[in-house]
Amino acid sequence: QVRLVESGGGLVQAGGSLRLSCAASGRTFSNYGMGWFRQAPGKEREFVATIDWSGVIIYYGDSVKGRFTISRDNAKNTVYLQMNSLKPEDTALYYCARRSYSGANSRPDEYDYWGQGTQVTVSS
């Protein structure tokens, strides 16, 4: 059974930084592509970042390019999202997700497993 648990969210002032973590259960974490998505109230789920099994192939959503960095530690079954230069419009519930394939992908319907989310609130 796959379980994803996000942590690291919180309240931060604009311009600040946060680091989200997503711990995954299961022994084959290293086989799969991972992604981060976010959803603000009243808005659709938005792609943030994705990383392939090896950590080499990475894509970012346009709104976070240059500010956010996704990474993974396969030995710790964990994927990270370093968020810098945060803006009020980054406020959302951030979800970690896992694919059943090794590649990176920006489409939420390509992901089979989702965490419960961690709230990020950026004050102006």
Quick: pLDDT tens for 78-108: 999 999 999 999 999 999 999 999 999 999 9
Q: What is the mean pLDDT of residues 103-120?
A: 97
Residue 26 is predicted with a pLDDT of 76
* Least-confidence region, from 23-27, 65-69, 91-95, 116-120: 23-27
pLDDT band for position 59 (cuts 50, 70, 90) = very high
Residue 82 is predicted with a pLDDT of 98
The DSSP call for residue 14 is T
Instruction: Look over the chain and give the mean of its residue pLDDT values, rounded to a whole number.
Output: 96
Rounded Cα–Cα distance for residues 15 and 64 (Å): 13
Contacts of 42 (CB under 8 A, 6+ apart): none
For the residues of 10-45, what is the DSSP string, one character each?
EEEETT--EEEEEEE-STTGGGS-EEEEEE-TTS--
